[in-house]
């Protein structure tokens, strides 16, 4: 099969020929149709410090996918050959207190396909049947291929009650934009999304009914005045990984405000904890998706009118993966989807 491999400990990925994975009794084999390129994949391409200490070489990469089941292990029940699916890319252990309590997304033994284990940038993927998420006919392969990052957005957005609330999102990358769409879908009053990238802010306005704000040029006080936000924002979602953005979010929240934090500031960042304590701010760290509650909720929302398709800005053949990564690394794209044909 064709597979996109981190073949050497240096920048880049390479299309190679690899054996089709052999499945075990509790696995399925999935014929990959479409995959999304993730920011994590860009880190692996760039071979930054995180990638160098995390990713074994060589490794088939990729973890956002949609495809079709073509083989089933002898112990697998409830799935069928020919069934369309996506899947949870976090492979969990079964022994921890968290896992045994059903809090699978908190299992400390979690390993990721395309990061620690062979991934989905290939013609075929082996996946535990437990991790398979069947796709209804109403969700096509293109949307199925971005359910993983949409799940991050949904998990973040649904961390706190948003009905009637004013929401501030820092970071207009694809996940931040999708989180903005989710917030509006579930009933937030105003959703403001900030960035310093005009192209990303323009895309946010196309995907969702939100207020894009360029913090390099726009005055947040004027934005709040126009929206009749008197005290500040009720809920914040930090998606940028910028300490400056998190600092601004703390300043813009009401007393008792709540922050769901998906972005990761690099290294050890200075934090003015007095502002967080004296404003009684709650911060929740968000990692991945709630397995499988997030999947149920986002599929239901997609079937009930949530539309994030316009966040996909580039579609290309898997053979043109280099151009796809160039688009992602440019900072000018939304989601990039590769077609494995």
Query: How confident is the model over 78-93, as pLDDT tens digits?
Result: 999 999 999 999 999 9
- Distances in Å between the Cα of 222 and the Cα atoms of 215, 218, 228, 229 are 12, 8, 10, 10
Same domain, 173 and 140: no
Q: Are strands 335-339 and 312-317 parallel, antiparallel or unpaired?
A: parallel
Q: Considering the domain boundaries, does residue 234 fall inside one?
A: yes
Same domain, 211 and 268: yes
Q: What is the pLDDT of residue 21?
A: 98
Q: Exposure pattern of 187-222 as b/e (b: 16+ CB <10 Å)?
A: ebbbbbbbbebeebbebbeebbebbbbebeeeebee
**Residue 273 contacts by C-beta under 8 Å, 6 or more apart in sequence?**
none
Same domain, 165 and 135: no
Same domain, 115 and 158: no
Smallest CA-to-CA distance from 122 within 65, 69, 71, 70 is with 65
- C-alpha–C-alpha distance, residues 77 and 62, integer Å: 26
Q: Are strands 124-128 and 27-37 parallel, antiparallel or unpaired?
A: antiparallel
Give the total number of structural domains in the chain. Answer: 2
Q: How far apart are the first and last CA of the chain?
A: 12
Q: Considering the domain boundaries, does residue 161 fall inside one?
A: yes
Smallest CA-to-CA distance from 180 within 189, 169, 171 is with 169
- Dump pLDDT digits (tens) for 82-125: 999 999 999 999 999 999 999 999 999 999 999 999 999 999 99
Same domain, 87 and 10: yes
CATH of the domain at 240: 3.40.50.720
- Dump pLDDT digits (tens) for 291-307: 999 999 999 999 999 99
Same domain, 158 and 141: no
Its domain, for residue 217, covers: 151-285
Same domain, 229 and 330: no
Reply yes or no on whether the pLDDT at 267 is more than 90. Answer: no
Q: List the beta strands (DSSP E) in 186-229.
A: 190-195, 211-214
The residues annotated as belonging to the active site are 40, 43
Same domain, 137 and 93: yes
Same domain, 80 and 17: yes
Same domain, 24 and 118: yes
Same domain, 162 and 194: yes
Q: Which residue's structure tokens are 């045994």?
A: 100
Q: What is the pLDDT of residue 297?
A: 98
């Amino acid at each position: 099969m064709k597979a996109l491999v981190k073949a050497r400990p240096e920048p880049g990925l390479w299309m190679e020929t690899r054996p089709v994975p052999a499945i075990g009794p509790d696995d399925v084999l999935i014929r990959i149709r479409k995959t999304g390129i993730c920011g994590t994949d860009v880190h692996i391409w760039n071979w930054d410090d995180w990638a160098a200490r995390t990713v074994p070489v060589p490794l088939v990469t990729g973890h956002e996918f949609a495809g079709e089941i073509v083989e089933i292990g002898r112990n697998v029940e409830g799935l069928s050959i020919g069934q369309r699916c996506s899947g949870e890319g976090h492979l969990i252990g079964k022994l921890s207190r968290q896992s045994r309590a059903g809090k699978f997304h908190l299992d400390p033994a979690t390993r990721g396909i395309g990061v620690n284990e062979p991934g989905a940038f290939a013609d075929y993927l082996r996946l535990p049947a437990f991790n398979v998420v069947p796709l209804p006919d109403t969700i096509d392969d293109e949307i199925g291929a971005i359910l993983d990052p949409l799940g991050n957005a949904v998990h973040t957005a649904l961390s706190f009650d948003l009905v009637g609330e004013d929401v501030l999102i820092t970071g207009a990358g694809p996940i931040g934009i999708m989180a903005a769409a989710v917030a509006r879908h579930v009933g937030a009053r105003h959703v403001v999304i900030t960035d310093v990238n005009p192209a990303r802010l323009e895309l946010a306005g196309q995907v969702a009914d939100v207020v894009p704000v360029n913090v390099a040029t726009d005055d947040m006080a004027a934005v709040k005045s126009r929206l009749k936000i008197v005290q500040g924002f009720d809920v914040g979602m930090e998606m940028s990984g910028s300490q400056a953005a998190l600092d601004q979010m703390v300043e813009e929240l009401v007393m008792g405000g709540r922050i769901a934090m998906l972005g990761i500031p690099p290294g050890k960042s200075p934090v003015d904890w007095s502002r967080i304590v004296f404003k009684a701010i709650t911060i929740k760290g968000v990692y991945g998706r709630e397995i499988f509650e997030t999947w149920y909720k986002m599929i239901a929302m997609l079937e009930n009118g949530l539309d994030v398709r316009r966040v996909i800005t580039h579609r290309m053949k898997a053979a043109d993966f280099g151009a796809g990564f160039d688009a992602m690394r440019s900072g000018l794209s939304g989601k990039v989807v590769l077609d494995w044909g």
